[in-house]
Amino acid sequence: MTRARYAISIFVVLTLLIIIGIAAYIWSHPKYEIVPDRGDGKSFNRSFSDGFEETDWYISDFTFKSLFYRAGWVAENVHFENPSISLEINRKPVDHQPYSGAEVQKRGYYGFGRYEVVMQAALGSGAVSSFFTHTDATFGDPHDEIDIEFLGNDTRQIHANVFADGKTTGSIYIDLPFDAAEEIHLYAFDWHPDSVTWFVDGEPVKTVTSAERPIPQNPGRIIMNIWTGTHDQYAWHGPPEFEDGARATYYCVSFRALGDDTPQCSDNDER
């Protein structure tokens, strides 16, 4: 081998090593933007018939390594079409995830009180559409969370849950007298220091207390998203057989802080 060929070989090997190193770095340092604002946590009532202001909402646009999620958040999958916003999931790969989902977060952090959403869930096995509060170590907090989720393989029930300091005693399933993917309905939960109560169209359907399971104590983000999970989640939400471009649609979101008497989604004419 001549010196020239030897030098070219070394150059090629080094180039490949650099490419591999960059790929490994990207994998271990995923694109992830932290939302820093904690806001004032005050009551609000946002009907999307009045518009969708990004000063009020953070649109997620990142992916991360996960043994749970198989969808990255893509800003283009958030659609505002008055009087609603819709979150789309499709089969367009993004970074190292095979599906593209969508997520919006209400700017600020919110604590005890009543949370309401007027929405229609996405249809299709594998699609999970949600409305929940959440915070975790990303923001320097314990993992606290309260969930309303709809699993696309059975949208005649709500999947609910609570996490306090990362701990939960398991899923809560609430049967519905309708298909949440076919109709628009009002869902809510009342969060108190010692209990959480879920509501459907203004009627209480489930209460858990601190005597039964830990109750979250830390204010969190209000988040709506649509996603699908890994093979390990198929027994829960079904295999990803949803129609490409399936959407969950949201018409109103409100928060009434404990002790307040401010308007909320149930006071609007959204349905």
Catalytic residues, by residue number, are 145, 149
SS3 140: coil
> Mind giving me the DSSP string for 25-79?
HHHHS--------------EEEEGGG---TTTEEEP------SSB-EEE-GGGEE
Give the span between the Cα atoms of 263 and 191, in whole angstroms.
17
Output b/e per residue, 236-248; b: 16+ Cβ within 10 A. ebbebebeeebbb
CB atoms within 10 A of CB 18: 10
If phi > 0 it is left, if psi is from -120 to 50 it is alpha, else beta; for residue 64 that is: beta
